[in-house]
Homo-oligomer: A and B are copies of this chain.
């Protein structure tokens, strides 16, 4: 199932080293004047490059194929593609018959009996560029309704990030890990402001269930929580009450342990959640593994790789959140 969403839907395609990656957005509201520069800027945030990221050059030049007329959305499907230009598939030849540990090579083979071994194929994080395009479009619609989604790094390796000096410590941790031929995990936080009360569906369609599904579909994500999250497990009920009060003619809560969602439905406060990521699976070390003929071997993967997924995961989390919130608004009939 390569389609995400119910009324606002992204169908996503492409292998890392195939002709192109891309997607089709169905359910885009009509008549929206698109800001294509904003889409490019969003994409640029997840682009590889820079000291902390993979040196693979990706232009990530988006070509829109349909659904836009004279700069405005038609309400019909918006298809787009990003050509895979800098593929260097020769780097990956040694992976034809060997499964990289911690990757999807073996499970894809088990599922399909065939895989595109070049750069992870369909399982490559390159696919997240497609999500960012979808999220950028969703964010524009949300912005028109006064809703703002923002993701940010909360933790890189063991470094918790509360300030700019923490960012410097985090950057140092990344460089240290790189020097040690190792990789790091981390945590991304996200806040959504401006969602009206009443968005989300009871029982199975709870807003946190939609968000959890969206976030756990991102490569390398290992955990999701919202509001107090896992910390709530160790709290007392009396410590986690969000008392109601009235201000400006509407109901508010004095605290936000609930993370803006109660009973699966938004309560008008900020929606807050976190996504945990594991360390990047690819590192320049010899690792024990097996071939597709079930023979033991060792593998050292070369190529260009990130040390920590967090910096590039931030826009992906933000994009997935934007699409999820927009879809939930449309399902609830609350998109103004």
Interface set of A (CB-CB < 8 Å, partner B): 1-4, 6-7, 9, 11-15, 18-22, 24, 26, 30-31, 63-69, 72-79, 81, 99, 101-104, 106-108, 110-116, 121-123, 127, 155, 157-158, 177, 180, 182-187, 196-206, 208-217, 219, 221-230, 232-246, 249-251, 253-254, 257-259, 261-268, 276-281, 283, 285, 287-290, 294-296, 331-333
Partner of A107, one of B184, B198, B209: B198
Question: What is the CB-to-nearest-CB distance from A94 to chain B, in angstroms, rounded to a whole number?
Answer: 16
Given the complex, which residues of B lie within 8 Å of A277, measured CB to CB? 232-233
List 4 tightest A-B contacts by C-beta distance, closest first: A104-B263, A223-B225, A183-B237, A237-B279
Given the complex, which residues of B lie within 8 Å of A244, measured CB to CB? 99, 101, 106, 288-290
Expressed in whole angstroms, the Cα–Cα distance for A99 and B30 within the complex equals 19
Given the complex, which residues of B lie within 8 Å of A15, measured CB to CB? 66-67, 69, 74, 76
Partner of A24, one of B11, B123, B213: B11
Partner of A11, one of B26, B101, B197, B251: B26
Partner of A111, one of B78, B230, B279, B332: B332
Stoichiometry (number of copies): 4
Please tell me if the beta carbons of B216 and A224 are within 8 angstroms of each other in the complex: yes
Question: What is the CB-to-nearest-CB distance from A228 to chain B, in angstroms, rounded to a whole number?
Answer: 6
Expressed in whole angstroms, the Cα–Cα distance for A148 and B198 within the complex equals 30
Please tell me if the beta carbons of B237 and A204 are within 8 angstroms of each other in the complex: no
Expressed in whole angstroms, the Cα–Cα distance for A195 and B206 within the complex equals 27
Please tell me if the beta carbons of A203 and B217 are within 8 angstroms of each other in the complex: yes
Please tell me if the beta carbons of B289 and A243 are within 8 angstroms of each other in the complex: yes
Expressed in whole angstroms, the Cα–Cα distance for A197 and B104 within the complex equals 11
Contact A74:B121 (CB < 8 A) given known A26-B11, A262-B106: yes
Question: What is the CB-to-nearest-CB distance from A152 to chain B, in angstroms, rounded to a whole number?
Answer: 15
Please tell me if the beta carbons of A69 and B225 are within 8 angstroms of each other in the complex: no
28 CB-based A-B contacts, threshold 8 Å = A2-B203, A13-B76, A13-B77, A14-B65, A18-B68, A20-B65, A76-B121, A103-B262, A107-B200, A107-B264, A107-B267, A110-B196, A111-B199, A177-B237, A182-B237, A183-B237, A204-B217, A208-B216, A211-B216, A216-B224, A222-B227, A222-B228, A222-B233, A230-B230, A237-B283, A238-B285, A249-B294, A251-B294
Question: What is the CB-to-nearest-CB distance from A314 to chain B, in angstroms, rounded to a whole number?
Answer: 14
Expressed in whole angstroms, the Cα–Cα distance for A22 and B121 within the complex equals 22
Please tell me if the beta carbons of A184 and B3 are within 8 angstroms of each other in the complex: no
Question: What is the CB-to-nearest-CB distance from A222 to chain B, in angstroms, rounded to a whole number?
Answer: 5
Residue of B with least CB distance to A282: B237
Please tell me if the beta carbons of A234 and B2 are within 8 angstroms of each other in the complex: no
Expressed in whole angstroms, the Cα–Cα distance for A3 and B204 within the complex equals 7
